[in-house]
């Protein structure tokens, strides 16, 4: 990208997110064997509730990200930055206490009416849900401290923390389920312990990274007044986003058995691998967009925007295409469970398409937020939700989990182009054609052609799971190479590296 720090942040984010996702994927089959599909369905609820709890964030973590990035371009802003962090920190910890109390009170109701368990008792589910809430409450403030480190562009150290704690979560949970107690309650007890460690470590690192100021940081009503409008709009977007992305799971949990919901959870977990691509680039680019806009550096902003979009297409497109086209092979290589392959491969294909299309709008969305323009996203998300509710009810009643995944894919295919078109009518006017042609069109088309050819000739479900995985990996590498050569930015980078290599060997 345009600076060494941005490159380092993207690389660190990719490594951190890849490791976190990979270790999560690798341990899913272990959890399934140790506690069974029904108990794993409770872990699916845990994963589904985490985004819902982000509603209580009220947009403050992203606001802190933006404010620290913006303030860092000014001189003598140390006290202002520290005061902003202290103010939002107080709000977050009060919310943390509230979350814990809500789960303690609501656990029996959730167990009795929100979970359709067939073999687990109400008491077992109630205890597990209570521990689930404790873990989520203790983890909640982490998002604020994470937002602060992202805004300061201290993303390398943040990923050290994420890698260490995600490893501890997965390995420790597996050992406890194996050696101590193969129950969902034991799993959530361990998650709560690691949440304490993760939040405390991130808070300590962020405060050490803040610039020194003579005056002590204190809670400030003025700081709240300066950000509440933007934070409220971000909060609205988060509410709509959580509703939009979790409606399928909420409706499915009511209409399907816990076992079938468990299969859908596996598909959504696999499709979430695309976040490994979108998140690192978004988190590295967002504070850079904010700084460039704050300085009024339009020329560099345009260049950086197209570079970021092409990077997103080159890295995300091949992965989405391979997951969609080789869903059976990936599930077989991952779980070795024929029932999982049969019940989850079609939802995985459709979810991968939807997530892939959504990921392509990630950079235009980041630019909108960095510019302080939130209205477009709010309107688009609202329209999607209005259409999604009846579509899900109809699709699930007729086609089950496949219907739910189909709704997600169709919504993104229809609405993402509209969002990008409307955005370029207001921000970076005149750059839409370049985005469609160079940033998205060439790399995605190249990867699709290679992936389609490979799908035609590649064998299906070989007895060897390792060989299946090798074939899929080779196809992914070929799609990646095609996309990289088709995108102008990455092609020029490759050409430059080749010239340097040739000069060194000459």
The reply to whether 408 falls in a domain is no
Q: Of the ranges 6-15, 122-131, 135-144, 201-210, which is most confident?
A: 201-210
**What pLDDT shows up at residue 4?**
47
Residue pair 222/82 in contact by the 8 Å Cβ criterion: no
Tokens standing for 214? 């003579």
Residue pair 258/70 in contact by the 8 Å Cβ criterion: no
Number of independent structural domains in the chain: 1
Q: Examine the pLDDT at 115 and tell me if it is beyond 70.
A: no
**What pLDDT shows up at residue 303?**
93
Residue pair 380/418 in contact by the 8 Å Cβ criterion: yes
- pTM of this prediction? 0.74
User: What is the DSSP-derived secondary structure letter of residue 212?
Assistant: P
Q: Report the percent of the chain where pLDDT is more than 70.
A: 93
pLDDT tens figures, 3-47: 546 778 888 888 887 888 788 777 877 877 787 766 777 776 777
The reply to whether 293 falls in a domain is no
Q: How far apart are CA 250 and CA 255, in angstroms?
A: 9
The reply to whether 153 falls in a domain is yes
pLDDT tens figures, 224-276: 888 888 888 888 888 888 788 888 887 887 777 777 787 888 888 888 888 77
The reply to whether 159 falls in a domain is yes
User: What is the DSSP-derived secondary structure letter of residue 388?
Assistant: H
**What pLDDT shows up at residue 194?**
92
**What pLDDT shows up at residue 2?**
44
Q: Examine the pLDDT at 114 and tell me if it is beyond 80.
A: no
The reply to whether 356 falls in a domain is no
Structure-model confidence comparison of residues 115 and 368, the more confident one = 368
Cα dist from 370 to 286, 303, 342, whole Å:
7, 16, 43
Residue pair 64/85 in contact by the 8 Å Cβ criterion: yes
Q: Which domain holds residue 190?
A: 1-219
The reply to whether 48 falls in a domain is yes
Sign, CA dihedral 14-19-21-26, equals positive
The reply to whether 360 falls in a domain is no
The reply to whether 214 falls in a domain is yes
């Amino acid at each position: 990208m345009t600076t060494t720090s941005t490159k380092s942040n993207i690389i660190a984010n990719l490594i951190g997110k890849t490791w976190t996702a990979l270790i999560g994927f690798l341990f899913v089959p272990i959890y399934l064997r140790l506690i069974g599909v029904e108990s794993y369905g409770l872990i699916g609820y845990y994963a589904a509730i985490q985004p819902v709890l982000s509603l209580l964030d009220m947009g403050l973590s992203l606001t802190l990200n933006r404010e620290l990035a913006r303030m860092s371009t000014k001189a003598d802003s140390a006290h202002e930055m520290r005061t902003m962090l202290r103010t939002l920190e107080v709000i977050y910890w009060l919310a943390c206490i509230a979350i814990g109390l809500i789960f303690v009170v609501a656990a029996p109701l959730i167990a009795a009416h929100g979970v359709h368990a067939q073999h687990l008792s109400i008491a077992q589910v109630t205890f597990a849900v209570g521990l689930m809430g404790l873990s989520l409450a203790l983890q909640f403030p982490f998002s604020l401290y994470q937002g602060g480190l992202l805004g300061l562009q201290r993303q390398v150290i943040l990923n050290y923390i994420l890698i260490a704690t995600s490893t501890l979560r997965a390995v420790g949970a597996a050992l406890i389920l194996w050696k101590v107690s193969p129950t969902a309650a034991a799993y959530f007890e361990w998650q709560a312990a690691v949440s304490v460690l993760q939040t405390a470590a991130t808070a300590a690192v962020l405060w050490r990274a803040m610039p020194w100021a003579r005056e002590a940081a204190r809670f400030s009503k003025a700081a709240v007044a300066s950000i509440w409008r933007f934070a409220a709009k971000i909060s609205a977007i988060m509410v709509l986003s959580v509703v939009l992305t979790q409606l399928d799971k909420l409706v499915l949990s009511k209409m399907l058995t816990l076992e079938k919901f468990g299969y859908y959870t596996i598909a959504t977990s696999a499709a979430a691998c695309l976040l490994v691509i979108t998140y690192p680039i978004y988190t590295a680019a967002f504070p850079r967009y904010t700084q460039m806009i704050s300085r009024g550096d339009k020329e560099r902003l345009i260049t950086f925007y197209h570079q970021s979009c092409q990077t997103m297409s080159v890295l995300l497109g091949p992965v989405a295409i391979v997951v969609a086209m080789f869903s059976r092979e990936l599930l077989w290589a991952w779980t070795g469970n024929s029932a999982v392959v049969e019940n989850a491969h079609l939802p995985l294909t459709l979810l991968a398409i939807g997530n892939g299309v959504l990921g392509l709008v990630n950079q235009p969305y980041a630019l909108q937020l960095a510019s302080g323009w939130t209205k477009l996203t709010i309107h688009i998300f609202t329209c999607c939700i209005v259409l999604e509710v009846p579509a899900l009810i109809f699709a699930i009643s007729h086609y089950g989990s496949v219907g739910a995944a189909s709704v997600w894919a169709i919504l993104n295919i229809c609405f993402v182009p509209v969002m990008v078109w409307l955005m370029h009518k207001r921000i970076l006017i005149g750059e839409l054609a370049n985005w469609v042609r160079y940033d998205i069109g060439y790399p995605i088309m190249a990867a699709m052609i290679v992936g389609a050819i490979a799908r035609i000739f590649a064998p299906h479900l070989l007895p060897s799971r390792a060989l299946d995985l090798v074939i899929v990996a080779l196809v992914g590498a070929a799609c990646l190479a095609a996309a990289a050569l088709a995108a102008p930015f990455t092609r020029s980078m490759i050409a430059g590296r080749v010239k340097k290599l040739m000069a060194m060997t000459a």
